[in-house]
Amino acid sequence: MDKFNVGKHISGRFNEELGEVRNQVLTMGGLVEKQLSDALMAIQTNDTELADRVLDNDGKINAMEMKIDAACGQIIAKRQPTASDLRLVLAVIKTISDLERIGDEAERLAHVAKASFSKDQEHLLVSLENLGQQVLLMLRNVLDAFARMDEEAAYSVHQMDANADRQYEALTRQLMTYMMEDSRSIPKIMDVMWSARSLERIGDRCQNISEYIIYFVRGKDVRHISPEMMENTVRGR
């Protein structure tokens, strides 16, 4: 909790409010991570019941976003936070927005898991596995970085997105080849392509969250800057 700098306020209740918001974000993140993991497992095992549970749980994520957003609004109205406190609240608001959108992408994956694929089409779903595990690792790592407000760990997640993008591009080329070889499979291949796109977007969302962590810790907005400038900011150069 030291990096949150919540131990220096005159108001003990303010400390509690900041801590509660942080814990709620981590709880929401844990649910989103499980949603993504379950959606990927549902695709891999053709488990429609698991896919249904993912779909049913999406409303919980939406409700958590609204609850945390409202709590942040109350903190801003009552406490008028400044400096690192304000950066924390802003980072939380942006983080939960990206987490909610990751939940939406997991929901889209669950819909694909419920689709009917023939035996000779199942290999298309297998092609999603590597990319899926990559972005799941990114999500897990960025949530851990948020829990510790570790800018070095956040920067590492940011760097991982390039590998996810390469995997997405290679998968897209592979699927395009399948379409040219068998036009009858185009509808199913498009389902897989949209799933791959959802996974690529999840990687982008994780990259966004890593930028919010760096912003909180360093007090600098690192969006849309060169890789060299971002590295210098994280390293304190």
> Residues 118-154: pLDDT tens digits?
777 777 888 899 999 999 999 999 999 999 999 999 9
Give Cα separations from 5 to 17, 22, 96, 176 (angstroms): 13, 12, 21, 51
Q: Of residues 139 and 45, which shows the higher confidence score?
A: 139
3-state secondary structure of 128: coil
- The Cα–Cα gap between 27 and 23 comes to 6
Radius of gyration of the chain, Cα coordinates, nearest whole angstrom: 20
Q: What is the pLDDT of residues 189-228, one digit of tens each?
A: 999 999 999 999 999 999 999 999 999 999 999 999 998 9
Confidence of residue 2 (pLDDT cuts 50, 70, 90): very low
Query: pLDDT at position 7, please?
Result: 47
Q: Are 121 and 185 in contact (CB under 8 A)?
A: yes
Query: pLDDT at position 4, please?
Result: 52
Rounded average pLDDT over 224-237 = 88
For residue 151, give both structure tokens. 């800018």
Q: Which pTM does this prediction carry?
A: 0.92
With tokens 């950066």, the residue in question is 87
Q: Are 195 and 40 in contact (CB under 8 A)?
A: no
Amino acid, res. 190 = M
Structural domains of the chain sorted by starting position, each given as residue range(s) with its CATH number in brackets: 2-235 (1.20.58.220)
Sequence-distant (≥ 6) Cβ neighbours of residue 171 within 8 angstroms: 127, 128, 131, 196
Q: Which of 74-83, 180-189, 203-212 is modeled with the greatest confidence? A: 203-212
Give Cα separations from 124 to 39, 44, 56, 78, 183 (angstroms): 16, 10, 26, 53, 14
